[in-house]
Chain A
Amino acid sequence: MTSLLLWMVSRIILPPALLFAAFLFVRGHNLPGGGFVAGLMTAATIILQYVATGRSKLSEPVKAGRLIALGLAVATLTGLGALVLGYPFMTSAFGHVEIPIIGHVESSTAVLFDLGVFLVVTGVTLTILLAIED
């Protein structure tokens, strides 16, 4: 089911959509957004490419299954990181760092955990949709 219109739109929309997903992820800790939503956004964007172009014509930059494994590993290792420092599993920490040009940035281990959530959600959504589309 390819149509020229859909194809064009999907091409144009790809960069801003992925950028928007990244934006959602980064602002997640303080404003609406976060790993879950960003993951869905990314998966929906990629799926749109597949639907518009046909899967066989696209190269597969990452295997969806790998994303799931990587995400679970990132989330678990973040939790385990607290153990190494002598705190209970999943204890979070946060601090504020100054980055040149960007300025004052607040960072937290929970963001790393959120990255795991993002990867798993992206991977799972892609896996399920591609399995059915295949």
Chain B
Amino acid sequence: MGSSVALLAIPALPLLAAGLLPAAGRLGARGLPWLAAAVTAAALALALWLGAGILAGTPVTVSVPWAPATGLDLTFLADGLSLLFVLLILGIGLLVIAFARHYFGPDEALPRFYAELMLFMAAMLGIVTAGNLLLLVVFWELTSIASFLLIGFWDRDPAARAGAYQSLIVTGVGGLALLAGVLVLGGAAGTFELAALAGRAAEVRALPEAPVALGLILLGAFTKSAQVPFHFWLPSAMAAPTPVSAYLHSATMVKAGIFLLARLWPIFAATELWFYAVTGCGAATMLVGGWTALRHTDLKRILAYSTVSQLGLITMLYGLGTEAAAIAATFHILNHAAFKAALFMSAGIVDHEAGSRDLARLGGLRRHLPRTTVLVAIAAAAMTGIAPLNGFLSKELFYEATLPGHVATAWPWLLPLVAVAGSALTAAYSLRLVVGAFFGPEGTYPKHPHEPPAGMRVPVELLVALCIAIGLAPNLLATPLLGAAAGAVVAHGVHPHLALWHGLTPALAMSAAGITAGTLLYVARRRSARAALPPRLGTSAGEIYDALVRGLLAGAHGLTDAYQTGRLRTYVAVLLGTVLALGAWSARHGSGVPVLAAATEAPQGTGVITLLTVGGAASVCALYRYRWPSVLALALVGALVAIFFAWMSAPDLVLTQLLVETVTTILVVLVLYFLPKQARILEPRARLVGDGLLALAVGTGAAAAIYAVLRRPFDSISSYHIANSLPAGGGGNVVNVILVDFRGYDTLGEITVLAIAAVGVLALVRAGRRTAA
């Protein structure tokens, strides 16, 4: 019981904090980070407490029914893989909060920043602890939204807004594909529970729908993890504040796609589609990202493309489908998070201290920032895979996993070659980054740089220390967690062997070859032309994206212009015409218009009189040529219909009808009051006749449709509702019990739509007023 509550509390704590932080503005620039850090630390403590049991081999699961009828349960599952990610999210989150405390000035919108950061953290924790695919999708979408808000944090900066939109659209489209894939998979397999799916992996793989589902899910994973050709949003997202880049775009959010690959590994890794799609995409991403990193001079952009490249490496490893590759990938997730977060924070320090992130203006910083220089050099060396750092260990595992003995492909030399090429590019851009910014001649800095405050430096120092410590004592620090995490990926126990020295292996030779080739590439490029950048790779994916978005907007604009004439008559005619056409179509293709027969319950007495009066009032409304009498006649129609409802003994309808009619009449009067004064309606006769015919056709059609529905024999569910209203809902008013209890879900949806509609009306009225003014 205790452990399941702890598991639920891990994502719930930051979510709660996200709700409360906006109201905690008075805590100020000093208090807010402490509050955020306290919440994160509390969740981290819970995770560590749970971790002891998970490392011992007992995953924690907890399930609360949410909407059992649709297969959506709040199932949370914490196994080794979840634990690895939870520790990364919370641990790096804590460091990022400490870093952000000094990064932001006191006049920034800090409550909003920390609330958004906590929201993102909660969503991310939700993804990695979700035990139900639908639940995972919910959190997935939440990370997209939180990321959009955080990238656009500096909302006055057009680049930030553009980057935020781009990431939202790209990951949002991917999220839709993921949802579709999950629905196809869950629908075909009969469950959305991850444990149940993994338990029947062979059966799920063999489903005829499996390739479609996998393709869609991969689309979601690739967009989120910035794989080629969807990688372009990540560099655009660098307009975000550096703490956001360090957190979302190195350690956590971009790893969500990778996490999904790891989660689905036991189900799909044995298929050919998985091997070719995931390995191919990952390899292409690794090379394209590495190459493009050489083309940029902005530190954060270089790091962004480097992240793209490293994510490609991890993806490629999961694609290989072997146990050794899965261990290497899982290990590299941990290592990459450590050194990349350190590098991003260092870029933030450089920006903060020197006032620029552009290599063209930097250089020689080692004289001003000696400690930062050492930190960056170590982190970059870890990224390059130099012994004895953590990156060396995972790179070795990576090389080994690509060797012909481990994986069988048509061209056994291709994968090792790609691996070495990727490493060479990594070495080249790492060298360029370190040498370009910190060595060589003095740059022209906008600010005079000096060492940053301890609060900014200590998080980097801790991360770099972790890189060194894991490299030196991997079995003490990393093996237990890695074993549990990789064991969860491959769904059986694994025992990774990590050691700096394996003997003179092919992997060691590849390591040396990669670093040497990278160094040569860097030196050659410096020699040939100092300023020249390497050639670009064809049309960039970002340009294709821009063209697509432009085309979509132009198309939407054209379509809207075609029927949005600004005249109410056109809108009504389009709406009614569409209804008529759809009705006619379904009457033709459906069961047909029923033959007229005597109605079973014909109105009598008062009912007939009421109906006749309704007809009279409606005719007055339509035929009268002055506005105000028409409006009153329209109100009368509504009131009379209410009386007819009363005659039919439907008191709830009477009340609702009367009030809706009142409010609508007020609305119409208000609108007319503000319209240009025009006493008499003057329209050409032809137009009036045309409108009249359309109205007549729609009215007849509606009457026919209602009649058809009433004539259709069906078992009414009213008796169920009437019988169960009091015993199950505790209310005597069946209508109300249906609204707030039996169909409460619908009502919740409806009031949400109402709220959205109100926001829409408000925006439209304000926009209209602005253009009019």
Contacts and interface: CB of A to CB of B under 8 A. Distances in A.
A41 to B, nearest CB: 6
A102 interface: no
A1 B235 CA distance: 57
Given A51-B666, A110-B730, A129-B670, A124 B736 contact: no
Interface stretch (B172-180, B408-416, B679-687, B738-746): B738-746
Contacts of A30: 731-733, 736
Contact of A88 (B65, B670, B747): B65
B762 interface: yes
Interface stretch (B437-445, B460-468, B556-564, B656-664): B656-664
A40 B670 contact: no
A67 to B, nearest CB: 10
Interface stretch (B143-151, B349-357, B370-378, B749-757): B749-757
Contacts of A40: 656, 659-660, 662-663
B455 to A, nearest CB: 36
B673 A110 contact: no
Contact of A132 (B67, B731, B733, B765): B765
Interface in B711-768: 729-733, 735-737, 739-741, 744-745, 747-748, 751-752, 754-755, 757-758, 761-762, 765-766
A108 B729 contact: yes
B64 interface: yes
Contacts of B597: none
A56 B745 CA distance: 39
Interface string A90-115: 10101100000000001010110110
Interface of A is mostly: helix
B68 interface: yes
A73 B193 CA distance: 29
A19 to B, nearest CB: 16
B755 A72 contact: yes
B275 to A, nearest CB: 40
A114 B68 CA distance: 23
A110 B666 contact: no
B187 interface: no
B722 to A, nearest CB: 14
Nearest to A115: B740
Interface residues of A, number: 56
Nearest to B665: A44
Contact of A89 (B66, B652, B732, B752): B66
Contacts of A24: 655
A121 B740 CA distance: 14
A32 B670 contact: no
Interface centre among B64, B67, B736, B761 (most CB of A within 10 A): B736
A94 B652 CA distance: 22
B733 A113 contact: no
Nearest to A29: B731
Contacts of B673: 1
A123 B659 contact: no
B761 A128 contact: yes
Given A132-B670, A132-B674, A134-B765, A88 B662 contact: no
A88 B761 contact: no
A86 interface: yes
A89 B134 CA distance: 15
Which of B74, B667, B729, B754 lies at the interface centre, i.e. has the most chain A CB atoms within 10 A of its CB? Answer: B754
Contacts of B662: 40, 44
A108 B755 CA distance: 25
- Highest count of chain A CB atoms <10 Å: which of B652, B671, B748, B757: B748
A49 B718 CA distance: 40
Contacts of B68: 88
B651 interface: yes
Contacts of B739: 34, 36, 114, 117
Contact of B751 (A29, A31, A71): A71
A81 interface: no
Nearest to B765: A131
12 contacts: A29-B732, A37-B652, A41-B659, A69-B755, A71-B755, A86-B64, A89-B67, A94-B730, A108-B731, A113-B744, A123-B758, A129-B663
6 residue pairs, one from A and one from B, having the closest CB atoms: A94-B730, A30-B732, A29-B731, A40-B659, A32-B651, A120-B751
Interface of B: 64-68, 74, 651-652, 654-656, 659-660, 662-663, 666-667, 670-671, 673-674, 729-733, 735-737, 739-741, 744-745, 747-748, 751-752, 754-755, 757-758, 761-762, 765-766
Given A34-B736, A113-B740, 4 more contacts: A37-B652, A65-B758, A124-B758, A128-B757
